[in-house]
């Protein structure tokens, strides 16, 4: 079943520093996903704590927060059919060693702690994470991209 969904994606500091912004955005655009919001920002300690609250207390938590606040990230809201699951297929497994060939993490990362990109793992997380990084007025959905028009016109829904 096709469900229109929005999800949160962030290119992490290692991805930004390595000049991968364009490569990564291209993958989502070519898939036909619509970018509803996009910005480069420095994550505050407060945003990092909210984003990673489920990992609080884990042995890697302090390193995780240090890393995500170490340089700018590129945050975005991505919309498309079954976007949460579909984006995670493109991103690949959390540990790049287990990521399928052709995914972003398989292609650009070696270790779990510097895995280049984050993508929400559920619709609930997506809405929570979007609200950490974006105000409502920064999300622009009053336009149609080509993939949306084609699918709507074919009456596949």
Q: What is the spatial distance between Cα 52 and Cα 144, in angstroms, rounded to a whole number? A: 33
Only one of the segments 42-50, 72-80, 111-119, 138-146 lies at the binding site for ligand CMP (rule: CB under 6 A); that segment is 111-119
Asked whether position 60 contacts ligand CMP by CB under 6 A, the answer is yes
H or E segment to which residue 47 belongs? helix 45-51
Nearest residue to ligand CMP by CB is 118
Residue 51: active-site member: no
Only one of the segments 35-43, 110-118, 122-130, 141-149 lies at the binding site for ligand CMP (rule: CB under 6 A); that segment is 110-118
The answer to whether 106 and 96 are in contact (CB under 8 A) is: yes
Q: How far is CA 110 from CA 43, 51, 113, 115, 116, in A?
A: 23, 23, 9, 7, 9
The answer to whether 85 and 91 are in contact (CB under 8 A) is: no
Asked whether position 118 contacts ligand CMP by CB under 6 A, the answer is yes
Identify the bridge partners of residue 38 per DSSP, sorted by sequence position.
76
Asked whether position 6 contacts ligand CMP by CB under 6 A, the answer is no
Three-class SS state of 139: coil
Min CB(67)–ligand CMP separation in Å: 8
Q: Which of 74, 84, 76, 96 is nearest to 120 (CA)?
A: 84
Q: Which one of 51, 55, 89, 118 is the catalytic residue?
A: 118
Min CB(28)–ligand CMP separation in Å: 16
Asked whether position 125 contacts ligand CMP by CB under 6 A, the answer is no
Measured from the CB atom, is 52 or 148 closer to ligand CMP?
52
Token pair of 135 as six digits: 């105000």
Only one of the segments 29-37, 109-117, 136-144, 147-155 lies at the binding site for ligand CMP (rule: CB under 6 A); that segment is 109-117
Binding site for ligand CMP (CB under 6 A): 55, 60, 64, 94, 112-113, 115, 118
């Amino acid at each position: 079943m096709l469900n229109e969904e929005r999800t949160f994606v962030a290119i992490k500091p290692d991805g930004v520093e390595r000049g991968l912004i364009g490569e990564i955005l291209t993958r989502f655009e070519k898939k036909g996903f619509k970018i509803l919001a996009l910005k480069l920002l420095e994550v505050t300690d407060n945003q990092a704590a909210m984003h990673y609250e489920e990992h609080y207390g884990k042995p890697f938590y302090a390193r995780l927060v240090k890393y995500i606040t170490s340089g700018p990230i590129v945050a975005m809201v991505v919309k498309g059919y079954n976007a949460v699951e579909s984006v995670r297929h493109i991103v690949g497994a959390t540990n790049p060693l287990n990521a399928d060939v052709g995914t972003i993490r398989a292609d650009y990362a070696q270790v779990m702690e510097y895995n280049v990109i984050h993508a929400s793992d559920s619709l609930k997380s997506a809405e929570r994470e979007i609200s950490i990084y974006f105000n409502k007025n920064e999300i622009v959905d009053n336009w149609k991209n080509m993939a949306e028009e084609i699918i709507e016109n074919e009456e596949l829904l």
